[in-house]
Structure 1
């Protein structure tokens, strides 16, 4: 479930108002000055920086990757060769995404793509056909479980033979629900969704997982255009929900939290996803301090506020002075890890850097952890979908008292590599 990102507010694509808007712009072309002076290695980053869900929704992985490559170039690059980063904003549309792929792959001849974060990855088949490695992308849709040469940040066991998952079916585990049942004693969970197709479909998937773990589930639906969060919050209180999961965007979550505070609906955890694992909760939930301090997140990467870990400290140091660096997020950390993954793969090739060599590193038997930032990632395809899987989980909760009273995320459940469960894998259609 960790790899299934919810973006239900973004139904439909923005129609460009002019030919200029329909043509994605290359945001930047950088090879930071430093000891690296050899022939540049071109790397592309595609981001839905301007999209229907807002300008900051997708930029974290891009900013984290760029910060890593800047630090890398200052230290000598890859064998003395700097990494030249070319970024492209696809506008959150399939047309724009195809344009970005054409520009970076066909015209600029990038060696690889890194930290792709696209609302509609329509150009994925073209990337795959060109044999361009796409490393560490965010699996917003099914592309990273569909095509060869695409390597999502969380790995995949799917055959990736041109069809999603196994015969068009993907599978997700119930480890999140198992965690809250075991560690927090939760028994009743509410799932709040919009009356909108994508939101309802995700809510159904969450409901199935909760019931598989023995929860009593309360389903709440709100009108997308005129949501009555007060009524939902009142029902959550009367139903005695321990947990609240959602199939909504950040704005909807903030309004729900405000309503919960206003009616006195207290829960053990208001559970959100990795996309909302950021410092911005201070402002997003500023009018709901009670609910804000009940926010929990789960994912597959180490908490960016876990400053006791050396790889996290290196990430935070590298982000200083970069766009977005004053407001950290988990997606920035995962973008940093994606750039590190590509770099480690490239360095493994020595002076014979080829795409085939990079992909041998990515698909090797030894799982990749980005020096402890990621749970072990691998791409070992299975002919049959797994019925059960041992899955580990990174968990954190927000506290206004953390970081000397500035607020921050506190790691829960011990080290993520030991917070593990053997859970059933449930099928769903992408």
Structure 2
């Protein structure tokens, strides 16, 4: 049931604002969260440059924020410019909120926007709505105030995760450099040894050929009985030389195999480093977005935050303690999150139901049962469902997968 706007407070609010509220009609208490949440620092600088001059626009972020808040409590050029900018920026949200005619529906729509991280557009659309009374204003103020604390805590967690990922990346690069240097040194040594062996083989083959020719000359010569000891000696030398040639050939094959193994190890380490760099870049994008001054921008207007466009993301497997962080990343990217533990406690029938409802599936292959793994793979292949397998349950691997889903990268199978 919608609450009727016939009460004294409701009628007063409705009659006082037959149309949308203006920025300068808001209380001074609300101006600070509105400016801080609905405008980015870069937008404030552009507005300052447009309204005043470039010198003002080069001042500190805090000074610009305070300047806009203190100068938007009355109707003049700056407040009119900010009003026009916010109406244009959040036109879609204003239209959605404007269709509602009772406060219960207004509160419900507000909560829906807050749940999916669209706090900026919801705040402006709610506070400028004719039915927004003092109680709803206080509700919006308290929600935005607490969100600022939660975002600060999330930023600290993101920074810690980024620091750990960068540290791991540095160590991996050092290990790769060390392995490459060792491999190059080994390859260089083996090449020198191979050259030496090849020269020895060539010399032995030449000696072998010379001995055969000499043997033939002796057999075609005169008294073979007088030459018999010399002939036997030459035959013994020929057998010894042939044996040495065979040993050197086997050593050559062994060194060639070791050389190929070294090259394969270098290629494997290079691929792992490239994967870690991609995961770190994805995680840096999330951290950069969480540190953005807009504090809850919509994904359509943020270049650093991948936009899932409301897709339902199913995470199968992974460590249970990471589930809340997975959920936070999906929510931040304008998506809906669901989780199945990969057969540890959740039943397989529940996995089938979740797979049907998901738009894309991310599977942490290091923490999942064999049955759930093959069930997921078979289902996604039969029904052409987008799915990605990530090698580990770490937050950086999941962040990279989120970036791939948002960018439409083809499915990856292990």
Instruction: Give the TM-score category using the shorter length.
Output: under 0.3
Q: Which structure has the larger Rg?
A: 2
- TM-score using structure 1 length: 0.24
- TM-score using structure 2 length: 0.24
Q: Which has the higher helix share?
A: 2
